Structures are given as C-alpha cells and as structure tokens.
Structure 1
Amino acid sequence: MTDPKRLADPRAGRAHRGRAVALVTALAALMFGAAGGLTAKPAAAAEAHVDNAFAGATLYVNPDYAANVRGSISRTSDPALRAKMEKVKRYPTAVWLDRIAAIHGGDANAGRKSLADHLDQALAQKRPGKPITATFVVYDLPGRDCASLASNGELPLTEAGLHRYKNDYIDVIASVFKKPKYRKVRIATVVEPDSLPNLVTNTADPECALAKSSGIYTKAVQYALDKLHAVPNVYTYLDAAHSGWLGWDTNRAQAVQLYTEVAKGTAAGPRSVDGLVTNVSNYTPIEEPFLTDPDRTVGGGMVKSSKFYEWNPGFDESDFTRDLHRDLVAAGWPASTGMVVDTSRNGWGGPARPTAGSTSTELDTYVTESKVDRRAHRGLWCNVDGAGLGQPPRSAPSGFPDSHLDAFLWVKPPGESDGTGEDIPNDEGKAKDPMCDPAYTAPGAGDNKTGALPGAPLAGHWFHDQFSMLVRNAHPAVPASPKATAKETS
C-alpha cells in the first residue's frame, strides 16, 4: 500500500453531548459595608454547551481575511471576477494561531489582529438573539508537521519546546478564551492539523518517529484538549487528515486506536473532544458524483484498485467521515461526536470538471475521465493548479446523514499559500518544500509533477494568483448576490 501522505503530502440532529457545563451565576446584590449599597455588575452568563457549535449561529467573518481579498480586488480588472471576490470577502473563515505572536497580533504578526481583537470583533458581529461562532486553528506544536518542510513551526521537538507550548501558547490562548466578556461567543477550535495523522503513517520519517517515541505530540494535544475543554463555550475538534491519507481500512483503524488513546488520556476522556475535522488545507472533494462504488469492476479491475486510488476505498470526504464516525463510535466514542469538513478548496469547478462518467473500458482511463478531483495523484497538496472554492461554510449540511456533519467550514482561508518552492528568508520556521515547486517530479506521487502554482509565497501568506483561480473555478459557482454571512467589521 502506498501512503501518499508519507511520501508526497507533508501535510442531522444528535443527542446532547452530555458535557458537564458550569454555568456562571451572577451575584445579584453584593453589598459592601453595613451602611449601604454598592451593587456589583452581574457577569454575563455563559451560553450552555450545545451539541453542534455551528447550528443556528452566525459564523465569524475575519476582517484580516477581508482585507486580503480587498487587495486582490484592487489588482483584478475583470468586473465579473471582482464581483465574485466582493462576495467571497464576506464569507467566514477560520483564524490561524500559527505561532505565539499570532495570539498578540500587531507588527510581530504582520499587522494582523490579536486573538482578543478577533473575539471583540465577533461580539460586534453578533446579532440580537442569535449565537455567533468563531473558529480558531490551534497550530504551534513542538516540531510541528514533522513530515513537512513548508510549515515547520517555531518550537523545537524537545521538552523545552513542550514547556513553552504549554505556558506561552496554550495557557495564554485559554486565558483569553475564558474572559467573562467572551462567554457569549461560541469558540470552535481545530486542534493541531497533521499532528496525530503523522503519528499514524509517517513514523519512517526520523522527525515523526521522534515525535511519537518522545510522546511530545501526544502530551501537547492532550494538554491543549484539557485546557480548552475546561472553558464551557469552547468546542474542540481534532484534525483527522483526509480520505487520501487515512482512508484505507488499516490506516483508519490505526487512527481510531491512536485518537482513542489520546482522548482517554485527557481529564474528560473522549468527551473532551466535540468532534473531528477532515480535509484541512486539502483538496479532496465532498463527493465523487460519478464514482460511487469503489468495488465496481471496469476492465477487469475494481475502481479502488486504479492507480489514482491505490486500493483506498475512501474516494471522498463524505465516505471518509461516514466510516470514521462509525469506527469511533464502535471504539466507545459518543454517538454525538460531530464531523466537520474543510470545503475551502475542494470544489473543482471550471472547464476541466467532468459532467458525466466515463464510458471507457480501461480502468485508469475510466477513473481519470470520471473523477472531479483533477490532481494527477492524491498526494499532491501544495497550491494545486486547477482547484476551486468548494461549498460555502454552513452548519449541519444536508445530504450526508451517515457522516454526522456539524458543518462545512473554510478552515484554510482560500488564497493563503500552502508553502513555497523557493528560499524565502523568514522568522516563522518555514522552509522551501519541493512539493511546492512546479518543476519537481514527486517520486511518492506516481512520478508526477507537483501541479503547484508558480511564484507562491510562504505558507499562510496571501497568494493572489491562487485566490483568483479558486474564485474562477468555484463549484458551486460563487452566486451573483449571496447573502452575507455576517456584518463585516474592520
């Protein structure tokens, strides 16, 4: 079995979760002194922890993202494309806390808003009588992305790095989240993308082997879960890679075992995790409409045995989340565990999108002509040419009842680079990665070219050419006049 991540990809209503929630009761009349009456201002009551953090809520629109989109609009002459960008500017996206400086914002973080600034903005966007949910990506693990170069972080894979992660990163984030004035904001957290999946499949890499043998990844994730889960209005979602990484039955089984061990090592066990999120920063479609049966035989072979799928029966994220949820529940997780899919860049619209299944009787031709995922290999992950925006963010998407979806989200803000194939000096711990070089032939990806767009900046930096392409190739197409998800504030 070929694991594309190891070789090429360094990167409906349910029962209440039953989490014990501490509701804050304000003191109505706290008196000071015998003679008279200083009355304390009541504290804002925390909203009850609900089953789905996104259900019925306004989703937070990040002003920093809107500013990046405005910059692209100013560089775009096509009026139709400009109009679509104007609409995308108002879509909700996650905020990445990808280094300690991101918590504090300002000049040390490229002028972006601080964590507290974002929560203040979320309160400003909150509509009367309606909850608001802001999503943050917790992403500064010691030795982060052990199988990658493009997104290595600032903290070393050492006990000293773990100490700093706990004290200077997680503790500071938690201290902001639990401030009384933010109790009315539902705070969704995506915890450490790529961390646990790397421990499942990539331990042949020396850095990943050390991450596992040292226990640092596991201890860091457990610490983050304990601290975040303790805040009643915070919701935790563990990253669970994508179907092209963990979709094989053996990989998924190992992932469920590891995730269960990690969760059981927290104070609240599996209930410290509200759900899992898949396809973060990836391109795997929600569904392959013309490839619905992995076991179908074409030209003497099953579709899943094609070169593109490599015996992986998980063709898309709806299949993967369905199977992952089923296996987690069988392992003792609550049936109410929710699933989220990052749909920011998995739309695959544009002229190359097939409109019908192939009629070829040759297996690989049949798959190539039928699949909406236009990559040459599923392990190609960096600034992929031809990709498009996917489904807009929304809660409880219908059509996939067995997937137990809490939401479609844009976890990866579309337009932010996956990485660069060039040497770019920086103080963010990020290096060039050959998978981001369009001229590189990837031996672990079927000896295909990477398919990466040229001229990309560092991971997380704005990439105008990519953003323009994503908007042009959106599927569904960006509508002419979509309703703004939330009032944009600056």
Structure 2
Amino acid sequence: MRLRAQPATRRLCRMITVVLAALLAALGLAVASGAVAVPAVAATSSCAAAYSVPNDWGSGFTASLAVTNNGTAAITGWTVTYTYAGTQTLSSGWNGTWTQSGKTVTVTNASYNGALAAGASASAGANFNYTGTNAAPASVTCTPAGSVTPPPGSINATPASLNVTQGSTGTFTLALSSAPTANETVSIAASGNTGLTASPASLTFTPANFSAPQTVTVTANATGTGTTTFTATGSGYTAATITATEVPSSNGTPSLMVTPASQTITQGTTGTVGISLSSAPSSNVTVSVARTSGNTGLSVTAGSSLTFTPANFATAQSVTITADSAGSGAATFTVSASGLTSVTFAATEAAACTSNCTTHVADPYTGAKPYLNPDFVKEVQAQASADGNSAAEAAVGTYQTAIWLDQIAAINGGGTTGRTGLQQQLTNAAAQGTTAIPSLVEIVVYDLPGRDCAALASNGEIPATAAGLTEYESQYIDPIASILSQFASSPIRIVAIIEPDSLPNVVTNQSKSACATATPYYETGITYALNKLHAIPNVYNYLDIAHSAWLGWPSNMSGTPAVYNTVVKNTTAGYASIDGFISDTANYTPTQEPLLTNPTLSVGGQPVDSATFYQYNPTFDELTYDTQMYNTLVSAGFPSSKKFLIDTSRNGWGPTHPTTITAASDVNTYVTDNKIDKRPFRGDWCNQNNAGIGARPTDQPLGGSSPILAYVWTKPPGESDGDYPTSTHSHGDPHCDPSGTNTDGNGGTYSTGSIPGFDVPAGQWYAAEFQMLVKNAFPAL
C-alpha cells in the first residue's frame, strides 16, 4: 500500500516552488504549487518525479516525492536522485530507501511500491534538518529499474448475473478495463438454456470509448427455463462471464426463485443457495431440491425440503451444498414443487489447494500492493478535472479505499447501485497481483438485520427478525463468501471490515428498544459471517470497535470484552476467526491530539478530561484509545496478535496543527484552544464541517511493536454520511441537519457540526465535502 510516516507535529509554513513548465508540458504533467518535476534521464524515459516541501518549520522540513510512470509499459522499480545546494541533512524517510552522500540524496522504491503500471504513481517522503535557507533542488532525476509487459486488461461485466422473466428482456453492460491499441471487437457466446439469447452478438470498443459501458440485451422466449452462461471474449483481454436465468412468468402463479444461479465450491467445503417464491401462494407449498445430473461429489446436505407459506414466501430459505474431498466438475440441481415450473442451478466442485497454497500471514498489508476501487478513482478524477485539474484532489485517487458492500445489490453491482460488482473487482485485483506481490483488497461487510440501530441515515434493508437473519445469511453473507472462495488461490489478500457500529451498540445502547431487539441478530449474524469468511485462507477479518468518543469511557471499555468474546468464542475457529479490530470507521476522531496528552492535568483546578468536550472521557484520541482497548482485550483473553487498524480518511483536521500550548485559566477554554478536533461536540458524526483528510494509508506506522497495525482509508473521502428530513423528503437523519442539534445525555445541546447548505444522501458523492477534506488535509496532499 502507499505508505507515509507521520512527521512530528509542526506548523505548515510555506510551499517551496520551482516551476519547470516546459519540461512538465512535454511530459503531460500538471504543474502544482510546491512541486518541481523533471523527466527521467534514463534511456527508457519511463518515469518522472515531482519534489515538494509540504511542511517547513524553520529548522527542518518534510520533503515529498511523487513518482509517476509516464511511459507506455509497466516498470518494476525506480530510483530518484537529486542534489541540495544548502545544509539539508537527512533525518528519516518512508515509502522507500533514503540515503544521502554529501549533498546528493538517493531514493529507491520499497518492496511494495516499485512496480508501477503505465500512468500509475507512488509517493515517498522524508524529514530533513537544515540551517540557513532551504532551497529546492535544481533538478530531480527518476530512473526506472526495468520495464515489464503490462498484465492483460479485462472485460468488465455489470451485473455478473441476472434473472429474465419468460417473454421479457434484461440487460447487462460490457466495458474494457484498459484502452486497446486499436479498435477491439468483443464477441458474446452462449451456452446452456437456449431460451435466452443476447443481442448484439459483438461490440466494438475504441481507444477513446473503451471504458464507456455498452449494453447487451438478453431476450427470453416464452417457454424456456434454466441458466445460460454468456461469455464475452476479446483479443488480449481476460474474458467475462455473465449468468442469466430464465424465470417462468407467474400469471398469478408463483415462480421459484434461486440465488445464486451458479457457484464454485472447493473440495471439503460447503456452498449455500437461497430459495424463495416470487409471489404469495394460495396455500403452503413444499419445495424439493435435489441433484439431477453431473458430479456426484456435490450433494444437498441441508434444505432438501422447504415449506413456504403465504406469509413467508418472499424470505429466502437456505439449501446447503456440500463438496466431498475428491470430486470434480459441475452438477445441476433442480428445484421443484407441485404445480410450479421447476428451475435449476449449477455448482462446480474445485480442487482444494495442495501446492503454492495461500498462506494466511500475520500482517496482510506487508508486501502487498493496494487495489484501487475504479468507482472511487473515477469520482475523484471527475472532481479534480472539474476543479481545474487539481493535483491535490487527483492525488486522493492514488490511495486505497474500501469497497462497501452495504446492500445485497452491491454484491453484483450494476443497476441502481452504479457500482462495479465484487466478482469483477476481485477479477481486476487478481490480474494486478503476483505471487511475490499480491493485491490487497479492502471490503466492508455492512448489512446486518436492524443495522445501525441507534441511527437513521444508515439504517439497513434487512429487518431485525428471525427471517431477516436468514436473509442476511443466505442472500448476503453466503453470496459474498461464494465469490471470495473463487479467489482463494489467487494472488490477492482480502481485508474484510466486519459490520461497523454493530457490537458497540450492543455494549452501550441496550436501553434503546431497537438495539435491544437487534442484539441477538447482531451477535448471531457476525458469528456466522466470521465462520464463512475465515474459512477462506486469504480473507482477513477485522471487527469494528467504534472509537474513543464512544467506548473510551472506562465503564464502556470495561464492558466491551464480554460482548466481543461472546461473538468470537461462538465461532468454529474461536479467536483465530478474527485478525484484529478497526477503530474510527467512517468517523472523525483524531489519531493523536498532539497537545492534549494528559487527561488528569489540572487547569483552573479541574482535570482536562472534565471539559465539556470530553465529559470525563480520558481517551482523547484513537492512539490512546486503541492502546488501552488492546490491553483490555488482551487481559480478557484475546491474543496479543489481534492488532488495530485506524480509519484516517477524514480525521486530519488541518491544514495546520498547533505546536505550542495556549495557556488558559478555564479548562473549557484550554481544551478549545489546544485541541485539533474542530467539532462542536465529540458525538457529532455526519459530514463534519472543517474536517480534513488524515494520515495516508500506512503499514505499521508506529513500528512492529505497536498495537496499531495500519492506517487505512475505510470511508472514501467525499462520500456523504447521510442526509436529513426536509420539506421535499422524509428520509434521512436529523443529526445530519446543519441547523439541527445533538444532545449528550446530560442535558447539553450542541450543533450537529454538519456542513451547511447541502443535503446529500448517504454514500453519494459530495463535491463540497471532498473539496473541503482536501483543503484541510493534514499532512497536506
């Protein structure tokens, strides 16, 4: 991943600018304040480096390098050299090997950021000391270590599966992941149910329109049933497969519904299919499921007979398909019921790994290459372009963010979600990874029954009921696990952030009826999710554990281990089912409050933590909170290997931080004048005004002995936290209303702190917020 160490707290003094416009124009690079870029002098001319000084505090400064592959082929590494004219002396560096000989500085790539595709970038930085003046180097040279043929592009299909009713049509779209050198023809072939046909049978993509989705229409005849696999192929591109299932027309009679229509199951493991009816039957219906042809190593071991009533017809019931230890190949299963048209689904048994198997490592971020979500990159690039080709904004798209699976539809993507499906995301990532440097993908599992029981903006789609739990398991977790299983031996690592805000609500909000009702479904659902995902060797589970402003009070922290132990100990693998925890997910609490380090310090006769902003919560920041929570969990039985991620995507609170204490005789004034957290109230959480992007994604930012494993950007900066009820719509959360208030439970009332003048639904792009986050980033972008 892109790593950047945190320099010591300091003032942002000035940007040092050397503009070499002609050279940059020749390279097609934008010139930004504070940057000097010089093209590579190596024969291949395939990389360039931009030098900037984002921070200078008079006796020292931070130097930043942005290395870009400006050639047409991927490179395997890079070396940057430049020479200072003054007394600049290297102190420490990150994201590369920094050395200094006399006045000449040499930087070589780290193991994780040397391989760059054409157009890709990496960053590195270092702290220096100096006396006198701090002039930028006159030139910077980037030399590539070598070049490699870029991996083949892929054909992206959205969605990857669809149902088409007899006599009607459905659609999917195709696009290319990278530009062809000439017009590329993609052909579409079909196998399986002949009642489904695709039109057109081929599409042409040009170097200019390669990424624009083109539509393929699937037409169903009046009598066919079953599944058709459409395969889209093109020269030099990884093929895409689309599974379409022809569904009988109801005409008042229910249809049997099956999800997913096909899946791959590894030897010795199980898969799950969800069965439901399209409409209410007039009386109870008994549905039978059986293997009717193909590989006998696959069998129905649970759910062979299901009963649907007029009340529960729409709730999917699970069927378990078990793979033996030696079988191989595909099998067809038939779902049937008296008076209804039968449907089929397919399963393929895959061999278990016997050599070169995926190893579950202690730190998934070490030695891995971050996968960039193309959906987020596209949003960032569009905004940067709209804002005059802002280099700072464009830089955000070069850092990894998590892929949020916050509804069932997000798994397959397409349609109303407008997202790339999980299958395609992992296909893209696998193509970018190697055995030596696997791709790292971050996903957020976030759709529990009764989700976010104490909030409104992020309430989920599944009710907190027994039927909802079944839906969560069979229609949400099982399809995710099925897709992930297909990539168990691929060169990727998958970090799964498990259900933000769920278990913290179990710890503190049992007085809320919605949370009390949801608690058993939270606990059972998360245990189920951990079991399914931990069974996949390259998946790493991190449980959300709120943040310092929630569970930081001693009474809340002491009650946390029991709740988390209940969930984890009920899994098949126990503590091994999780790899750690994550704090500050989609929140704003600073990683460190640099000047407020002693909660018991007396100011005006009162301890600092007695200030209204902290209300006797002694954990002022995430580093303090995570360290204390780590020790608390270890004391309660959790292994010391279970470390913490911190979401730093929006907790920077820049563009500057105070460096010296402002004295005050009143504790509230003292805290207000010296904290970097600009919220009116620590409980404010929705689209916070004056927030900024925080530390860049970093592996082991505080060293291997720290309980902090990595800084990550779980929440994509620029995506809204939620909207609020207005005269034009009733949905949303009043806590997102800039004119609204939050209460602290002790009679205190505070502004929500939300950005005024906007009303953007949760998850949608919020241009004004993105611009603000970039402007207030710390360290600066």
TM-score, normalization by structure 2: 0.53
SS in 2 for 1:387: coil
Instruction: Answer yes or no: is the 8 Å Cα contact 1:417–1:456 preserved in 2.
Output: no
Equivalent residue, structure 1, for 2:618: 313
Q: Which residue does the alignment assign to 1:376?
A: 680
Conserved in 2, the CA contact under 8 Å of 1:23 and 1:45?
no
For 2:535 and 2:435, the matched residues in 1 are separated by: 27
1:410 corresponds in structure 2 to: 713
Change (3 A) 1:466 1:117: same
- After superposition, residues 3-402 of structure 1 pair within 5 angstroms as 45-77=356-388, 82-110=390-418, 112-126=419-433, 129-180=436-487, 183-212=490-519, 215-350=520-655, 353-398=657-702, 401-402=705-706
Distance 1:358 1:400, change over 3 A: farther
Range that drifts further, 63-72 or 95-104: 63-72
Counterpart contact for 2:553–2:619, Cα < 8 Å: yes
- Give how far 1:423 is off: 5.1
**Residues 454 and 514 of structure 2 are in contact (CA less than 8 Å); yes or no, is this contact kept in structure 1?**
yes
Equivalent pair of 1:318/1:400 in contact (CA under 8 Å) = no
The structure-2 alpha-carbon separation of the partners of 1:308 and 1:181, relative to structure 1 and needing over 3 Å to count, comes to closer
How many angstroms apart in 1 are the aligned matches of 2:761 and 2:521? 26
* TM-fit CA distance, 1:70: 1.8
- Which of 748, 761, 768 is 1:465 aligned to? 768
Distance in 2 between residues matched to 1:182 and 1:90, nearest whole Å: 27
Equivalent position to 2:750, from 448, 471, 477: 448
**For residues 439-486 of structure 1, what are the alpha-carbon distances to aligned partners after superposition, in whole Å with 9 as ceiling and x for unaligned?**
0122338312111013131111111110010000000101xxxxxxxx
**Inter-CA distance 45–401: structure 2 relative to 1 (3 Å threshold):** closer
**How many Å apart are 1:354 and its aligned residue?**
2.9
Query: What residue identity is the alignment partner of 1:259?
Result: Y
Q: Deviations over 1:261-309 (max 9, x none)?
A: 1111111112211000000010001101000111111110111111111
Distance in 2, Cα, partners of 1:437 & 1:59:
35
More strand by share: 2
Bigger Cα displacement from structure 2, 135-144 vs 453-462? 453-462
Higher-Rg member (1/2):
2
Change (3 A) 1:116 1:450: same
Output the CA distance in 1 between the equivalents of 2:619 and 2:451. Answer: 26
SS at match of 1:193: coil
2:248 corresponds to: none
In 1, distance between residues paired with 2:353 and 2:633?
42
- The one-letter code sitting in structure 1 at the alignment partner of 2:379 is N
Once residues 189 and 95 of structure 1 are traced to their aligned partners in structure 2, the CA distance between those partners, rounded to angstroms, is 10
Distance in 1 (CA, whole Å) between partners of 2:727 and 2:644 is 36
Mapped contact 1:424–1:431 kept (Cα < 8 A): no
| 1:316-375 C-alpha deviation (Å, 9 max, x unpaired) | 000011011111111111111111000000000036x43322211211100000001111
The alpha-carbon distance between structure 1 residues 182 and 72, as it changes in their structure 2 partners (threshold 3 A), is: farther
Please tell me the residue identity of whatever aligns with 1:458: P
Aligned residues: 433
SS of residue in 2 equivalent to 1:258: helix
1:139, 1:394 → 2: CA distance? 24
Mapped partners of 1:183, 1:45: distance in 2 = 10
Letter in 2 for 1:179: Q
Change (3 A) 1:227 1:302: same
Q: TM-score, normalized by length of structure 1?
A: 0.84
| One-letter identity of the residue aligned with 2:758 | G
Is the CA contact 2:353–2:489 (under 8 Å) kept in the aligned structure 1? no
Task: Tell me, yes or no, if the aligned pair for 1:246 and 1:252 is still in contact at 8 Å.
Answer: yes
3-state DSSP of counterpart to 2:440: strand
Q: Name the CA distance, whole Å, in 2 between partners of 1:121 and 1:450.
A: 40
Change (3 A) 1:43 1:413: farther
Structure (1/2) with the larger helix percentage: 1
Letter in 2 for 1:48: T
Letter in 1 for 2:641: S
Q: Which one scores higher on RCO, CA 8 angstroms, separation ≥ 6?
A: 1
Bigger shift: residues 435-444 or 240-249: 435-444
> How far did 1:159 drift?
0.7
- 1:185-241 C-alpha deviation (Å, 9 max, x unpaired): 1111000000000111112211011112xx111000100000011111100000000
Provide closer, same or farther for how the CA distance between residues 43 and 269 of structure 1 changes in structure 2, counting only shifts above 3 A: closer
Question: What SS does the corresponding residue of 1:288 show, helix, strand or coil?
Answer: coil
**Contact 2:655–2:779, Cα closer than 8 Å, also in 1:** no
Give, in whole Å, the separation in 2 of the partners of 1:400 and 1:388: 27
Aligned with 1:133: secondary structure?
Answer: strand
Provide Cα deviations, 1:367-397, integer angstroms capped at 9, x if missing partner: 0000011111100000000000000112111
How far has the Cα of 1:75 moved from its partner? 2.4
* 1:165–1:220 Cα contact (<8 Å) kept: yes
Structure 1: gaps (5+ residues): 1-21, 25-29, 31-39, 479-490
CA distance in 2, matches of 1:219, 1:181: 25
3-state DSSP class of the match of 2:526?
helix
Gaps of 5+ in 2: 1-266, 270-327, 329-350
Rounded Cα–Cα distance in structure 2 between residues aligned with 1:224 and 1:162: 11
- CA 1:400–1:372: 2 relative to 1, 3 Å: farther
The question of whether the paired residues in 2 share the 8 Å contact of 1:243 and 1:284 is answered with: yes
Superposed CA RMSD in Å reads 2.4
Alpha-carbon separation, structure 1, partners of 2:469 and 2:726: 28
Distance 1:272 1:313 in 2: 31
- Identical-pair percentage: 45
